[in-house]
Amino acid sequence: MGTVKDKIPLPASSYDYYEVFAREEMDGALEHIGCLSAPNPEIALSQARLMYSEKIWVEMCMVRRDDVIPIISPNDILGAA
């Protein structure tokens, strides 16, 4: 088994960004509570549970940033192509 100094970190380009959403009450709004980067969904899930456990949520979910479907974007508002 190698030591910590022998482990090679993944390049940042192999990480995905995830947007994290949560709800505090059953009838409450689903709110964006933050984002994180991780090399895969399993690690992203673990990070989200650890990072955002300061409250007791009734629901928490995440989506890979590249999978978000924009409805209105800053380019629409600014008139950029």
Q: pLDDT (tens digit, 9 = 90+) per residue, 38-58?
A: 999 999 999 999 999 999 999
Task: Locate the domains of the chain by residue range.
Answer: 10-59
CA distance linking residue 11 with residue 2, whole number of Å: 19
pTM for this prediction: 0.75
Quickly count: other Cβ atoms within 10 Å of residue 47's Cβ: 16
- Nearest alpha carbon to residue 49 among 7, 1, 41, 67: 41
Residues 47 and 34 sit within 8 Å (Cβ to Cβ) = no
> Which residues does residue 63 pair with via DSSP β-bridges, in sequence order?
19
Q: Determine the Cα–Cα distance for residues 5 and 40; give it in Å rounded to an integer.
A: 22
Q: What is residue 6's predicted lDDT score, i.e. its pLDDT?
A: 64
End-to-end CA separation in angstroms for the chain:
53
User: Is the per-residue pLDDT at 24 higher than 90?
Assistant: yes
